[in-house]
Structure 1
């Protein structure tokens, strides 16, 4: 087993400054210089011999719910299945889960042994726009909250659910969906942070965090990066995002290898091992971790801990990630009586990059001086570790926060039991896993540590006055890695098995018929917008001269320059050479004009036609020829009016082959 830091502390008298007054003791521990494999931060992969106590898991919607009538027990049973690694439970390994529920992996069908569509059987595939889908979405989120909000294995929830990979694109959630998601998640989750892919105002203002999938990529960094992505938004629009919920994501190494604008030599290299072992690459990554107050990252977490040089570099990043609590001083009374209050005062600095986001308590314990085991412990009332904030306003040139981390002074107390034995004990502190059985979990960055999670501070007398308050006669352990730490998951939770499958009335998979219909009536139309005020919505308020409840796709707002509404075929489908007829009804703001064309990917290949809009529904029909096969996917596209404000409504789209 190889660690970055294999260390046995010196005797406490050599590393700890202790001052004793008449009634109180103040101890100033020495900072531990190395990295600590603490929970809820760092690398988003578990490593037996390295840093990483988090696991992100994609979960298909249909693995959690077979139909609308399925029970929450299926979600819990599935959670039981995925919270095991190498024959051990997450609780045994001290690992926490970050789940993301999704429907569509990448717009393709996949294979039988690896499907990429995960719609429950009683839902129409690709139906993101109907009222029925919104109701189903709200219902699932309520079940997720019931299953996960108090589950000790869960750290945070990635919202997912809509778009490719659950990353809120193709399609993006509409404004009404964003509002529904905010309300539903806030109602369902009181104890877990919620993370989203994009910095939409509704999500940010609700206090949600961000999972950002191209972290530190040069082409997205200010001053030239996309203003809608995290780097620009966190720099110029929402600089306090990180104070409310975690910032995380993944380092997209494929982008580094494939895109000309990535500049791997000038940024963080092409592999996680590059990032860890090359000082300039490592400095670049730490700069971004510090700048965006990042709690943890994936993909970069796929490093090889068996290489000492790689692990040494990983330790530098681990110190920068998330929280890192350094104790400047701890004060406590020399002696107390059984049944009395035990007050503790602590001064802490967070030298990491982010807060600690869960409401876990700081606790005090009395350890037996001979075996170092707790005789008694209890949480300290009045201390909130979430308030211990890091520095702010990162300066890349100085490689430091312009506003350094402030000392946090906190006072709390715990009540001693009447029946506690009298004598001399070691006063120790630890941050406990609240939902995981109130066991020690988070380690402070000080050398005063013993295996098992407690930080010995000094001697205290219970019912007696100690002769000395300094700890003497034994050595400390390293807090860097402690494989004895774990948390508890109730037997009631672990015993839940998948319930019997509910009766399901499946929705038949829609299939195209070239001579009858090639457009899936349930499939979404994607809005590509060049304006922050433009939004898409779905409704069933179509023309009255026909079947009731006809689906309408509407786009409203400032169109900008280059916005369009487009339809692509399932499985990245293309049209074969031949003659086709497209028919639809449209209406919109009178005086504006839209343009319809057919594209190969984004490149137009069929001459478009311009159509004036009217406040009344108008029927249109176009015939066009496909002379050669498409190189990419076929796209039916409506180019929206440039530099104008208004509405565009589309219903009854049909496409068939007519030759």
Structure 2
């Protein structure tokens, strides 16, 4: 009896499904797309040379801007942002569509003793003058409450100026240590680097000032994991040092600066960008000639989105012997292809039901890169007739920051598209740059009809 009851239930369910299918006949077409060659350049990734030092041999969509507190606030409460932007050619970079990696520095060692903080701040908080292996300068007292309070006011002003500036893509948490790299030369007579209790205060100031920006730390800290921050490595691809940095990220570490045990930031790159610059222990061309395979592996294992300011965006092929130039150029471009995200639409499904005739599309998107994109740019989806007329254009939140390396899907229904007459149509896709309002990301797909706009499928609408 139980078997008969179960069989009757199954038959009833099957008849119900058949009835539903009959009344809502589904027309579905599936298109498989083969990925094309990876684009060499795209926004928010690649090379980030010093501002004003870009070279024509290799494209760059980023520029690195390092500014001292002394430049930014020469008088207490008086911010020289306009003057700083002129000095660093910021308007020219904006006109070129170049986005910025910004770092504030309080101690940049040089050949001669000098201050990188304002005179008024030094008079209030002091500092340690030094001459050492890195050069000469003055290391501020980062523990001084007055210094920390003034730093918070500076960041508040910077945030008001740049937190909503779309041209500022990444902000490195410099501020502390030589070059903003979160270490000091104790052998030059400088007090040890401040404790995590102090450095966390600086991190919190940055997050409060820049709630909408990608922030990046020089080394992993627990607060970085909590806030979803990125990391930068200014000794990128240096044998030994780079592996150690990856170990810090995975497992935590004991600080060589002050002996504290610090937490790691495993999988930080899911939410925060990975960047840095090539180490200075060898000629930059060595990274694509003698050490190419190792450099490629460091990019992959670090999930790196961009490299700068010491990078190929500021190099010229003419500096190499003629017989090395073609190989070097090909490898530089191959590294650029590997950096960051790379999107390819690999499958399109178009569905329509007779009793619910609005068109539904499902895209399978392969991220062939090593990292996601870190800004949520909207998608532009278009329905186009055979004559090229755009019948529907929708701006869609695809949550593309969640497109990690691997396979991702997006489903969307064109509301009201059921009123379109039966016939043949095409589906087009572009990822829209918020600055220009136009498609701005190159896909690893063929079928580009306009810059960064791709025809994905031609299909039949039956209902």
Please state which band the TM-score falls in when normalised by the shorter chain: 0.7 to 0.9
2:269 matches 1:255 = no
Q: Is 2:48–2:101's contact at 8 Å kept on the other side of the alignment?
A: no
| 1:26 aligns with one of 24, 30, 50 | 30
Q: 2:311 aligns with which of 271, 290, 300?
A: 300
Matching of residues 43-82 of structure 1 within 5 Å: 43-45=47-49, 46-70=54-78, 74-75=80-81, 78-79=84-85, 82=88
Distance 2:353 2:168 in 1: 40
Contact preservation (8 Å) 1:195, 1:208: yes
1:196 and 1:421, CA in 2 relative to 1: closer, same or farther beyond 3 A?
A: farther
The alignment's TM-score, normalised by the length of structure 2, stands at 0.74
The corresponding residue for 1:622 is none
Q: Is the 8 A contact 2:108 2:179 kept in 1?
A: yes
Per-residue CA deviations over 1:210-232 (Å, capped at 9, x if unaligned) read 1111112113254xx4xxxx222
Asked whether the equivalents of residues 460 and 466 of structure 1 are also in contact (C-alpha less than 8 Å), the reply is no
Where in structure 2 are the equivalents of 1:311-330 lying within 5 Å?
A: 311-330=329-348
- The Cα offsets for residues 42-84 of structure 1, whole Å up to 9 and x where unpaired, read as 222355442421111111213222333225xx43663466355
Match of 1:275 among 278, 287, 297: 287
2:157 & 2:395 partners in 1: Cα distance?
31
Q: Take 1:166 and 1:44, find their aligned partners in 2: how far apart are those partners?
A: 17
**The structure with more helix, counted as a fraction of residues:** 2
In structure 1, which of residues 382, 389, 407 is the aligned counterpart of residue 404 of structure 2?
389
1:47–1:53 CA contact under 8 A, matched in 2 = no
Query: 1-side partners of 2:178 and 2:416: how far apart?
Result: 55
Q: Indicate if the aligned counterparts of 1:364 and 1:379 stay in contact, CA closer than 8 A.
A: yes
Native 8 Å contact 2:278 2:284 kept in 1:
no
- Distance, in Å, in 2 between the alignment partners of 1:310 and 1:460 is 44
Q: Cα distance 1:363–1:451, how it changes in 2: closer, same or farther (>3 A)?
A: closer
Is 2:97 the counterpart of 1:97? no
1:180 Cα offset (Å):
1.4
1:287 equivalent in alignment to 2:297: yes
2:269 aligns with one of 242, 252, 260? 242
Partner SS for 2:224: helix
* Cα distance change, pair 141–303 in 1 and its aligned pair in 2 (3 A): same
Question: Does the Cα contact within 8 Å between 1:198 and 1:212 map onto a contact in 2?
Answer: yes
Conservation of the 8 A alpha-carbon contact between 1:364 and 1:414: no
8 Å contact from structure 1 (residues 380, 414) kept in 2:
no
Q: 1:220 to 1:342 in 2, by over 3 A?
A: same
**Which runs of 5 or more structure 1 residues have no equivalent in the other structure?**
1-20, 111-115, 257-269, 391-404, 468-659
What displacement does 1:296 show? 1.3
- Who is 2:12 aligned against? none
Give the CA deviation at 1:376: 5.9
Equivalent of 1:135, from 135, 149, 157?
149
* C-alpha displacement of 1:284: 1.0
Residue among 176, 180, 183 paired with 2:201? 180
2:130 paired with 1:117: no
- Return the alpha-carbon distance in structure 1 between the equivalents of residues 156 and 47 of structure 2: 29
Gaps of 5+ in 2: 1-24, 127-139, 185-191, 253-264, 319-324
Does the CA-based 8 Å contact 1:35-1:315 persist in structure 2? no
CA offsets per residue over residues 550-591 of structure 1, 9 Å max, x none?
xxxxxxxxxxxxxxxxxxxxxxxxxxxxxxxxxxxxxxxxxx
CA RMSD of aligned residues (A): 3.4
Q: Secondary structure at the match of 2:335?
A: helix
The structural deviation recorded for 1:361 is 1.8
| Equivalent position SS for 1:205 | helix
Cα displacement (A) at 1:439? 2.2
Q: Highest CA radius of gyration, 1 or 2?
A: 1
| Aligned match of 2:173 | 159
Partner-residue secondary structure (3-state), 1:439: coil
Task: Give 1:173 deviation, angstroms.
Answer: 4.1
| Post-superposition offset of 1:335 | 11
| Distance in structure 1 (CA, Å) of the matches to 2:419 and 2:358 | 14
Distance in 1 (CA, whole Å) between partners of 2:34 and 2:220 is 40
| Rounded Cα–Cα distance in structure 1 between residues aligned with 2:161 and 2:234 | 27
Preserved CA contact (<8 Å) 1:426 1:458: yes
Note the C-alpha offset of 1:29: 2.1
CA distance in 2, matches of 1:104, 1:367: 57
Deviation at 1:293, TM superposition (A): 1.0
1:366 Cα offset (Å): 4.3
**Structure ranking higher on relative contact order (CA contacts 8 Å, 6+ apart):** 2
CA distance in 1, matches of 2:164, 2:446: 33
2:217 alignment counterpart: 196
Say which SS state the counterpart of residue 377 (structure 1) adopts: strand
In structure 1, the partner of 2:393 is: 377
Q: 2:411 maps to which residue?
A: 411
CA distance in 1, matches of 2:296, 2:389: 38
Q: Per-residue deviation at 1:242? A: 1.5
Change in 2 beyond 3 A, CA 1:308/1:385: same
CA contact (8 A) 2:340 2:372 kept: yes
| Structure 1 residue 413, shift from structure 2 partner | 4.4
Helix, strand or coil for the counterpart of 2:168? Answer: coil
Aligned to 1:515: none
- CA–CA separation in structure 1 for the residues paired with 2:150 and 2:384: 52
1:194–1:421 Cα change, 3 Å: farther
Residue 359 of structure 1 corresponds to which residue in structure 2? 376
CA shift at 1:118, angstroms? 2.6
Q: Distance in 2 between matches of 1:81 and 1:455?
A: 40
The SS at the match of 2:179 is coil
